[in-house]
């Protein structure tokens, strides 16, 4: 407590005026509301994914494991489609992190960069910039999968699992 008072006393009048001005213009964000919106929108996206997975299992005789791949592909495709029409940004502004957490955030990141750079041409614009953000996600995902598979292989070899 004393340290805070010392630091407050050491501030110049300009610093104090700046802090006062910043407090006036700082937007108070409704944290609970934002968390609930993110939870429900993200949960709805996951519910749609679960419904797609059940659809593939029921109509195409996929197992629970094999239905995951077409489910992810369809979710990414739908996300890219509604991003292209400009609807995904409105959902994202409404729900915040609710759209970024599921796989739809990946699809949005890929197509948004492609749309943004399309004026630079197909190869250098769209193709070159499409995986700016998503490329690091893919790379770290592949690396994490490799590390986990090596660990699992050793655990199997030594009879732990």
Q: What is the pTM of this model?
A: 0.67
- Span 52-83, pLDDT tens digits: 999 999 999 999 999 999 999 999 999 989 99
pLDDT score, position 109: 82
Per-residue confidence of the chain (161 residues) as pLDDT tens digits?
555 555 666 888 888 889 888 888 888 889 999 999 999 999 999 999 999 999 999 999 999 999 999 999 999 999 989 999 999 989 989 988 888 877 888 888 888 888 888 788 877 777 777 777 777 777 888 899 999 999 999 999 998 88
CA nearest neighbour of 60 among 71, 44, 72: 71
Using DSSP, state whether 30 is helix, strand or coil.
coil
Phi, psi of 105 (to 5 degrees): -65, -35
């Amino acid at each position: 407590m004393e340290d805070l008072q010392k630091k407050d006393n050491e501030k110049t009048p300009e610093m104090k005026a700046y802090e006062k001005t910043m407090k006036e213009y700082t937007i108070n964000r409704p944290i609970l509301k934002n968390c609930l919106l993110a939870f429900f929108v993200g949960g709805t996206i996951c519910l749609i994914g679960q419904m797609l997975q059940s659809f593939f299992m029921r109509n195409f005789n996929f197992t629970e494991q094999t239905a995951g791949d077409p489910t992810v592909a369809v979710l990414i495709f739908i996300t890219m489609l509604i991003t292209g029409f400009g609807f995904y940004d409105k959902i994202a502004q409404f729900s915040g992190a609710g759209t970024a957490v599921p796989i739809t955030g990946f699809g949005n990141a890929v197509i948004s960069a492609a749309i943004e750079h399309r004026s630079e041409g197909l190869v250098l614009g769209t193709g070159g910039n499409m995986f700016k953000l998503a490329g690091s996600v893919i790379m770290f995902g592949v690396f994490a999968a490799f590390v986990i598979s090596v660990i699992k292989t050793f655990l199997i070899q030594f009879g732990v699992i």
